[in-house]
Chain A
């Protein structure tokens, strides 16, 4: 049984998606417990798999018993297991949250939305679990298609934003597919581990260089790396709350995972440093991304839109960590992914809760929010602290490793940019906290009757619980970051830095 976990973890949400239609036909309200139960089972399986891998090392699973490279191989190491836990964890929080949120935002459409939610989790898990380049493309498209569907049923302008996302996402996926084709024509294989051994003699071939560029451009489009980010803010802004609470933490980070796989596992890092110096270009783009994202975030008047731009800035942190191509940089890239999933999950869900109560998320609308929704705002504050990088949150440790990586690489300009972006982060988050906490309307001395008391008006427990769980995950991953580094990241540090 235990050795079938890698297959089961994909098959369970997939079958659940198929069964959602009959269950929803019996009673629409059954969809919500069904979603929570199945994603919970997936989370338990992912945790079990991670413990198994930490104890006994990476496993390889040949789908259908066909030996790689002829069949499709699942190769699961510590990074895959970590990503699986993160995806099913954020998926579980979103599932808990979806009950009241879907009922309010998508009345009468919960069945289809639940089925798509399952498929989205299936697609994301499929991307991180497989070791076959073409299989990654197929699951990338499952995840993207379900994302398009879920985002398009958001607010009034959502369809147009989704259409732009579809166009850009398809260009990205097609570039990736073409890159895989270029690799196939020069090697004849599609298996990631197999290609890793086949490619080194071909490093100077123009086909392989073009393939690497195509795949990186495709992934950058999917993960909205500057300057290919234009589709992201609008699409995530218009999406329903639950959807943006799951899509924003997961999609760009899965892109980051793919970038790690391409740079470190498909090719060797020395290919990107010596033969094809794209890491320099990538690191400068990342620096621009994290500054531009933060500056745009400051310019926004709406909380949710501001967070969308902060997603773009965080993509910059991940890519910078990857592109530094040293041990501290690699560690910080993975820690940033962990931190981002927890933090973005927390603050996007909290923003969804604010929209649930207030109807919109304009920043000048947030007065008294610390009294009206104390728990939501507590979680939001923890998330904001983690974004800025205040200990003991995970954000602090990821930034610390990133700074160490910049020092090790001798890039002093990057350190200045990182410090500047931290200050910008402080500005845009504390603006929100100030609006929600300190800003009182001007006292009106002429009135005689007492001011009405602001009463506690929290969202339903089903929405509050995932927000608080995400906030505690930020603290736990922060305190446990040492454990993460020794058990997950150190064993997979690539050789040859």
Chain B
């Protein structure tokens, strides 16, 4: 049982982190807090992927030492960490940053239009405007 928990607990921690982010995205009424929740959610997924790359018993990060000049040395795959999740997450980090950037630009527009970032207040302002328009 203990072994089972030890072999899985890191995934569970990421799931908890993800759920914190998801809760913030859905339940918070302040738009910036929603955005922060989005970042937590994406970061948790990134951590999850990176943890896939771990190999017990491998001693090296995936960089081959002394590679130049010793071209003929033998490389054992078991000695190095799995490089693929790291590569994927480099891309995912960039995607998450880009999404955050666009979302912040949109938030600037929202703030300039309504002078607030609280969703309830914005809905209130919109209803008031609609009444004034009719």
Contact = CB atoms under 8 A, between A and B. Distances in A.
Interface of A: 134, 137-138, 141, 145, 148-149, 152, 156-157, 159-160, 162-163, 166-167, 170-171, 174, 177-178, 181, 184-185
Contacts of A152: 105-106, 109
Given A178-B48, A181-B52, A171 B41 contact: yes
Contacts of A162: 106
The secondary structure that dominates the B interface is helix
A138 B18 CA distance: 20
Contacts of B110: 159-160, 163
B62 to A, nearest CB: 15
Given A163-B110, A181-B48, 16 more contacts: A134-B91, A141-B95, A141-B99, A145-B102, A148-B106, A157-B126, A163-B31, A167-B25, A170-B99, A171-B41, A178-B48, A181-B45, A181-B49, A181-B52, A184-B52, A184-B85
A477 B98 CA distance: 39
Contacts of B99: 141, 145, 166, 170
B56 interface: no
Interface string B35-51: 00010011001001100
A148, A152, A166, A184, most chain B CB atoms within 10 A:
A166
Contact of A134 (B42, B88, B103, B107): B88
Nearest to A70: B84
Interface in B78-98: 85, 88, 91-92, 95, 98
Interface in B107-134: 107, 109-110, 113-114, 122, 126
Interface of B: 18, 22, 25, 31, 34, 38, 41-42, 45, 48-49, 52, 85, 88, 91-92, 95, 98-99, 102-103, 105-107, 109-110, 113-114, 122, 126
Nearest to A180: B88
Contact of A171 (B25, B92, B114): B25
A166 B109 contact: no
B49, B85, B122, most chain A CB atoms within 10 A:
B49
Nearest to A177: B45
Nearest to A152: B106
A149 B102 contact: yes
Contacts of B91: 134, 138
B45 A178 contact: yes
A157 B113 CA distance: 8
A250 to B, nearest CB: 19
Contacts of A185: 52
A166 B25 CA distance: 11
B41 A174 contact: yes
B98 A145 contact: yes
Question: Which 4 residue pairs are nearest across A and B when measured between Cβ atoms?
Answer: A159-B109, A159-B110, A141-B95, A166-B103
A178 B122 CA distance: 33
A166 to B, nearest CB: 5
A486 to B, nearest CB: 40
B22 to A, nearest CB: 7
B79 to A, nearest CB: 18
A185 B122 CA distance: 43
A171 B18 CA distance: 11
Nearest to B18: A178
Given A141-B98, A174-B41, A181-B45, A163 B106 contact: yes
A167 B106 contact: no
A164 B98 CA distance: 16
A236 to B, nearest CB: 16
16 contacts: A134-B91, A137-B95, A141-B95, A145-B102, A148-B106, A152-B105, A159-B110, A159-B113, A163-B107, A163-B110, A166-B106, A170-B38, A170-B41, A170-B99, A177-B92, A178-B48
Given A157-B126, A181-B49, A148 B102 contact: yes
B71 to A, nearest CB: 21
A190 to B, nearest CB: 8
Given A141-B98, A145-B99, A159-B110, A167 B45 contact: no
Nearest to B123: A160
A138 to B, nearest CB: 6
A85 B102 CA distance: 29
A166 B18 CA distance: 17
B103 A174 contact: no
Contacts of B18: 178
B51 to A, nearest CB: 10
A181 B14 CA distance: 13
A166 B103 CA distance: 7
B98 A159 contact: no
A393 B103 CA distance: 41
B45 to A, nearest CB: 6
Contacts of B49: 181
A152 B107 CA distance: 10
Contacts of A156: 113
B45 A174 contact: yes
B10 to A, nearest CB: 12
B113 A167 contact: no
A157 B49 CA distance: 37
B89 to A, nearest CB: 10
Contact of B22 (A148, A159, A171): A171
B130 to A, nearest CB: 10
Nearest to A138: B91
A331 to B, nearest CB: 35
